[in-house]
């Protein structure tokens, strides 16, 4: 039996959250195991794989599910299965092309990235995942088209869990055997292959189970239904998946630019060995940015259907109101996250990665969180209003600016230059998105929201800094990582309390806002009164 849309969306939402938390968190113990060189290798190779993977599969499950659901609505059971089989073959061919590109071009790509010796084997290792993941994407799309979200959710969770376990175990085991950074990193990257294999096994089990549950053959036949050419079907799938593909390319594409520029530019200045270390240090910011982008990712995916639904009912005002709400929520979460992380960058760096190397670069790159989250949300809004290609153009503009910024700034400021380029490129790409939003009358206008928010964030920033300095003085003498852990946790606790107090004190968020969400009002409002964060 199929689940309701809301239940299915909730299942996928929890699975996505679980996968993203694991996907960001494992980099911290991995860096502790393999050091900055291990982080360098992984962050050079994985963005390349992620970019190709996004091009090959991102959005395809959604597109396939739409076509499958259309066939099922016509009671064309065999046609739905035909879509899945055709998609599996087509995506496997696309994946095979990318596999050949990575496996046979690994040496050349590694040379372009600045280190043929360290990167060739890991690139060849990850290439095998491109033969498997497209097959999983096609099967997931088939089940989603049947309104059965469990196979997708379970397979995604098991894939990520298997991948992370492989990364941590093989990197630790191969380092323990004394095989060195190269093999430990290649073993970690092999997690993409084991994860995809686990996902396919789970999905095949669901397919077999579904076949056994059918007691009789489908009554309909392809001969009874309107025929659709494979070329037309593939065109429909690609057009439907394009917007989601663009949204999923934001982080890997900018990381890919770093992979091809940072180490190469640093090598000319400080030599290849030091460049490897400093690029690995720069990559410490990646998991922190991903943590901060969790909410925006979920919001960007949910805002597209929400706006499309309102527009389908010919309610343009409701669509615009939903878009403005999404922007407000993004500002409300992204700005304090960016500023707060920037303030506590140094103790966070030591707490997670053992030393304070690159703390200044981390503090700078943390500021990109607000622009990244706004970019993802604005991309979702523009797509919901039918502006599918515009976010792709602004993304390319941002990537080009990032490339130029790296080339110009790294020679002067080392990895701080790359951090500055990240902030500027995200900011410019987001600026163009917001110009487009103004043209469709979607903006915060002169509500005073941003002014009030800046006041609240300023108070939070001051309280966070004072807390950080005070706690560091109070706990000095403890082991360094423990000292910084206590400092970070206390600073975050104070930051959260002060920010929540400030947004209600200065009416950034009002009781009326909370009353629009009955479930939130019932659970949260009593707590806010109890903590004296909300006044009668």
Angle at 52 between CA 49 and CA 57, to 5 degrees: 115
The pLDDT of residue 214: 55
- Alpha carbons within 13 angstroms on the beta-carbon side of residue 60 total 28
Tokens, residue 465: 């800094």
Separation CA 30–CA 36 (nearest Å): 10
Backbone phi, psi, residue 478, to 5° = -75, 165
Strand partners, 476: 478
CB 444 within 8 A of CB 450: yes
Q: Please count the residues of the chain.
A: 536
Q: Are 281 and 362 in contact (CB under 8 A)?
A: no
Give the DSSP letter string of 241-258. HHHHHHHHTHHHHHHHHH
Tell me if 136 sits within 8 A of 183, measured CB to CB: no
The overall pTM is greater than 0.85: no
Give pLDDT, residue 127.
93
Q: What is the pLDDT of residue 490?
A: 96
pLDDT the model gives residue 192: 92
- Cβ pair 397, 255 in contact under 8 A: no
DSSP 8-state code for residue 444? -
At 523 the pLDDT is 65
Domain boundaries defined on the chain: 1-248, 253-445, 468-536
Q: Residue 218 has what pLDDT?
A: 47
| pLDDT of res. 90 | 80
Alpha carbons 58 and 50: distance in angstroms, whole number: 10
* CB environment 463-494: b (16+ within 10 A), e (fewer): bbeebbeebbeeeeeeeeeebbbbbbebbbeb
At residue 215, the pLDDT reads 45
DSSP string for 58-100: TTHHHHHHHHHHHHHHTT-HHHHHHHHHHHHHHHHHHHHHHHH
46, 119 contact by CB (below 8 A): no
Per-residue model confidence (pLDDT) at position 240: 67
pLDDT per residue as tens, the chain (536 positions) = 334 444 555 555 566 666 677 777 788 899 899 998 999 999 899 888 888 877 766 666 666 776 777 677 676 777 777 777 787 888 888 889 989 999 999 999 999 998 899 999 999 999 999 999 888 888 887 787 777 777 878 888 889 889 999 999 999 999 999 998 999 999 999 999 999 999 999 999 988 887 765 544 444 444 445 556 666 776 767 666 676 676 667 778 888 899 999 999 999 989 989 999 999 999 988 888 877 776 666 655 556 666 766 776 777 787 787 788 788 888 988 899 999 999 999 999 999 998 999 999 999 999 999 999 898 888 878 877 878 778 888 988 999 999 999 999 999 999 999 999 999 999 999 999 999 998 888 876 656 888 999 999 999 999 999 999 999 999 988 999 999 999 999 999 999 999 988 988 888 877 666 665 555 556 667 777 777 666 65
What is the reported pLDDT for 446? 57
Question: What is the CA 274 to chain-centroid distance, rounded?
Answer: 29
Q: pLDDT tens for residues 212-269? A: 655 444 444 444 455 566 667 767 676 666 766 766 677 788 888 999 999 999 999 8
Q: Which residues pair with 478 in a beta bridge?
A: 476
The 3-state secondary structure of 376-428 reads HHHHHHHHHCCCCCHHHHHHHHHHHHHHHHHHHHHHHHCHHHHHHHHHHHHHH
């Amino acid at each position: 039996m199929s689940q309701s849309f809301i239940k299915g969306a909730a299942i996928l939402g929890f699975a996505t959250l679980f996968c993203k938390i694991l996907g960001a968190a494992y980099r911290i113990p991995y860096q502790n195991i393999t050091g900055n060189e291990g982080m360098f290798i992984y962050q050079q190779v994985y963005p390349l794989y992620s970019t190709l993977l996004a091009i090959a599969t991102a959005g395809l499950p959604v597109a396939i599910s739409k076509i499958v659901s259309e066939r099922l609505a016509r009671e064309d059971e065999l046609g739905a299965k035909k879509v899945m089989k055709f998609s599996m073959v087509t995506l496997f061919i696309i994946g095979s092309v990318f596999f050949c590109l990575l496996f046979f071009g690994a040496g050349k790509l590694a040379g372009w990235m600045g280190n043929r010796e360290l990167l060739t084997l890991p690139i060849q290792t990850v290439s095998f995942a491109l033969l498997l993941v497209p097959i999983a994407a096609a099967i997931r799309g088939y089940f989603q088209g049947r309104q059965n979200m469990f196979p997708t959710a379970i397979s995604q969770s098991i894939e990520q869990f298997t991948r992370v376990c492989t990364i941590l175990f093989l990197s630790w085991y191969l380092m323990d055997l004394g095989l060195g950074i190269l093999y430990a990193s290649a073993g970690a990257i092999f997690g993409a292959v084991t994860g995809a294999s686990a996902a396919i096994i789970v999905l095949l089990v669901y397919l077999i189970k579904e076949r056994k549950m059918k007691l009789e053959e489908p009554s309909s036949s392809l001969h009874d239904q309107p025929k659709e050419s494979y070329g037309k079907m593939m065109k429909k799938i690609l057009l439907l998946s394009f917007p989601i593909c663009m949204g999923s390319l934001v982080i890997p594409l900018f990381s890919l630019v770093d992979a091809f520029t940072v180490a190469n530019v640093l090598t000319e200045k400080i030599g290849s060995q030091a460049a490897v270390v400093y690029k690995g240090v720069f990559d410490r910011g990646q998991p922190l940015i991903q943590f901060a982008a969790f909410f925006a990712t979920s919001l960007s995916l949910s805002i597209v259907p929400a706006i499309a639904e309102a527009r389908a009912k010919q309610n343009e005002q409701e669509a615009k109101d939903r878009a403005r709400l999404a922007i407000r929520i993004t500002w409300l979460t992204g700005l304090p996250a960016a500023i707060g992380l920037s303030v506590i960058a140094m103790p966070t760096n030591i707490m997670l990665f053992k030393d304070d190397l690159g703390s200044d670069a981390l503090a700078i790159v943390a500021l990109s969180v607000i622009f990244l989250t706004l970019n993802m949300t604005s991309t979702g809004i523009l797509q919901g209003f039918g502006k599918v290609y515009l976010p792709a153009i602004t993304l390319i503009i941002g990537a080009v600016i990032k490339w130029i910024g790296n080339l110009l700034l790294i020679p002067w400021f080392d990895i701080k230059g790359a951090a500055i380029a990240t902030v500027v490129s995200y900011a410019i790409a987001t600026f163009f998105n917001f110009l487009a939003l103004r043209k469709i009358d979607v903006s915060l206008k002169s509500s005073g929201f941003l002014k009030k928010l800046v006041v609240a964030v300023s108070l939070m920033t001051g309280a966070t800094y004072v807390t950080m300095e005070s706690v560091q003085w109070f706990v000095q003498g403890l082991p360094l990582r423990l000292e910084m852990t206590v400092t970070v946790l206390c600073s975050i606790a104070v930051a959260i309390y002060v920010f929540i107090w400030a947004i209600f004190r200065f009416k950034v968020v009002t009781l009326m806002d909370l009353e629009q969400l009955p479930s939130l009002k019932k659970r949260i409002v009593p707590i806010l009164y109890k903590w004296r964060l909300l006044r009668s």
